[in-house]
Structure 1
Amino acid sequence: MRRPAVAGQFYPRHPEDLVKALEEAFRDAAGGGPLPIRGAVVPHAGYTYSGGVAAEVYSILPERETYVLIGPNHHGLGLPVALSKESWMTPLGEVGCDLELADELLGGIIEVDESAHLYEHSLEVQIPFLQARYQGFKILPISMGLQDEETAIEVGEAVGEAVKRLGRDCTIIASSDFTHYEPQEDARRKDSQVIEAILRMDVPAIYRTVYGLNLTSCGYGPISAAITASRILGAESGKLLRYSTSGDVTGDYGQVVGYGAIAFI
């Protein structure tokens, strides 16, 4: 059992407070009913800062058998690309792993290593949003310590092909924030350029932009993996649902973090 590592920090520890925080996040989302989303990009900051942006995706996410969650490894623990086969606990209850899909992925670049997930927040913060919408689903958490282009494409191809082989009804969710701790104007300018490449689902352009602008986006590898898998599953284009920064919440525009909600359809 993988127990919560950041409850009480990134989101409320007590179930009733967490439900209220989620309701508040969803209240501001545009919504409009489920869309056939094969992949998505969502932020992973504290709910106060990015919960409303994340809710833009989760408010229109279709019900699936399995949600593959791919995020960056902030702590550097464990294998370069690490899968968790544990059930994950949040204040809202337990969510099981899709063990069949997990086993289908093993033997290549992706291996099981629970230590990579022990303290990692980027995937944990996504699960309560899913629990607020649906019941009975499974997850498959993947943590990427390596985020180079070759690795991201290999991970995405492995996930996409495994999902197809099993005929699994699945959406791939990439967890990433965008620019970190730069002035609002600079963050928006830089993020708009990489988001343009993401919307085109153009992985090489994403890497050219990240390296060319020295971007501090923390999950460009998971985003690229999700794009690769989503293409295999039939997605053709990205749609920007919302972009904002921490400054839009705090009023401090000197050092902001960027957050984007993107769907691949």
Structure 2
Amino acid sequence: MSTRDTAVAGQFYPSSPDEIHSMLEHYNQIIDTHLKDKDSVLHLRPRAVIVPHAGYVYSGFTANIALRLLSNSDIKRVVVIGPSHRVYLKGTSISQFDTYHTPLGALYIDKTLVVDLKERFDLDFIPEAHHEHSTEVQIPFVKTYTPEVSVVELVYGDESPEKLAEVIEYLFKDPETAVVISTDLSHYYDIKKANALDSICLDAVKKLSTSELHQGCEACGKIGVEAMLIAAKKKGLKSILLDYRTSADASGDESQVVGYMSAAFVEQ
């Protein structure tokens, strides 16, 4: 049985299960304290979410608030889509391993869906593309909140947002499938400039506006975000912004920050 091994455990997130649980419990204590209202976002049942992919110390809280919501829905599989940072890709690679290892235990990869997507959308399997942190950092959250689901990992490079949107639209046909889009926002500007650039991304996601996304948003996963906006608009989903912060919230350094956001896409 082939395994998608961890590539960044102990770097972007803890390799110890106890440390992962401790971090997530800390995030949830904050969330539960500040979002106690019965009408809060904690009751959302998203079809999809956008989450960041930096180290947990920087973006874990932002990702957690979105991925925790997946436990509200009766889903059987989670498809995680992220940009390639390590290798150049023409198009999109889909993982054909059998299992996805995490420090919290393994998740099965949905091989039936993998074969379907691979054939239907002419996707490749490029093993070296799946040492990717943008997708991997989401998997411990998935294992924590929806431990019985199967997963599918898609890593894209030079890809058309429209083609990726077709994949997401197809996935939306199954109500037991959730989609996770991974992206960070602007990189290494001062806090004022970062906030200005990131506000464009946030507004575009809120309005499902692909045109606004191209007015200065510098998300590293902008292709995936645009694909999600296209698919969500066609599906009639509503986007709800969940959290925004920068690395300065953790480091205190406002001279060169990275922006992070999370959002949920729900049926109206």
1:122 is paired with a residue of what secondary structure? helix
- Verify the 8 A CA contact 2:89 2:156 in the aligned structure 1: no
State the alpha-carbon separation in 2 of the partners of residues 190 and 73 from structure 1. Answer: 22
Match of 1:129 in 2: 141
Matched residue, 1:204:
211
Return closer, same or farther for 1:44/1:56 CA change in 2, 3 Å cut-off: same
How many residues are matched? 253
1:17 equivalent to 2:19? Answer yes
Preserved CA contact (<8 Å) 2:201 2:219: no
The one of 75, 80, 91 equivalent to 2:86 is 75
- Structure 2 counterparts to residues 57-136 of structure 1, below 5 A: 57-61=66-70, 62-63=72-73, 64-86=75-97, 87-107=99-119, 108-117=121-130, 119-136=131-148
Once the two structures are superposed, the pairs formed by residues 83-232 of structure 1 within 5 Å of their partners are 83-86=94-97, 87-107=99-119, 108-117=121-130, 119-147=131-159, 151-164=160-173, 167-206=174-213, 208-209=214-215, 213=216, 215-232=217-234
Tell me the equivalent position of 1:38: 47
Is 1:6 the counterpart of 2:11? The answer is no
Residues 105, 159 of structure 1: 8 Å contact kept? no
How far did 1:37 drift?
Answer: 0.8
Q: SS of 2:203's equivalent? A: helix
1:51-62 pair list within 5 angstroms: 51-61=60-70, 62=72
Q: CA deviation at 1:79?
A: 4.8
Which residue does 1:253 correspond to in 2? 254
- TM-score w.r.t. the length of structure 2 is 0.88
Aligned-residue offset at 1:77: 4.5
TM-score (norm 1): 0.89
Instruction: Tell me by how many angstroms 1:39 deviates.
Output: 1.5
Task: Give the fraction of aligned pairs with identical amino acids, expressed as a percent.
Answer: 32
Q: CA deviation at 1:227?
A: 2.8
Q: Which amino acid aligns with 1:224?
A: E
What is the alpha-carbon root mean square deviation over aligned residues? 1.9
Code of the aligned partner of 2:16:
H
Tell me the distance in 2 between the aligned counterparts of 1:16 and 1:243.
27
Equivalent AA in structure 1 for residue 259 of structure 2: G
The Cα of 1:145 is off from its aligned counterpart by 0.7
CA offsets 1:3-22 (integer angstroms, 9 cap, x no match): 11001001111111121122
SS at match of 1:90: coil
Contact 1:184 1:254 (8 Å CA) reproduced: yes
Deviation at 1:114, TM superposition (A): 2.2
Deviation at 1:137, TM superposition (A): 0.2
Consecutive unaligned residues in structure 2, runs of 5 or more = none
Distance 1:70 1:232 in 2: 19
Q: Distance in 1 between matches of 2:43 and 2:162?
A: 28
Provide, for residues 20-72 of structure 1, a one-character-per-residue CA deviation record: whole Å limited to 9, x for no partner: 12222222234754422112110001000011111111232234111111101
Tell me the alpha carbon deviations over residues 97-154 of structure 1, each in whole angstroms, 9 at most, x when there is no partner: 122221221233422222211x21011100111111122101111101124xxx1121
- Between the aligned partners of 2:67 and 2:28, the Cα distance in structure 1 is 8
Q: Which moved more, 1:12-21 or 1:241-250?
A: 12-21
Deviation at 1:179, TM superposition (A): 0.5
Aligned 8 A contact 1:77 1:115 in 2: no
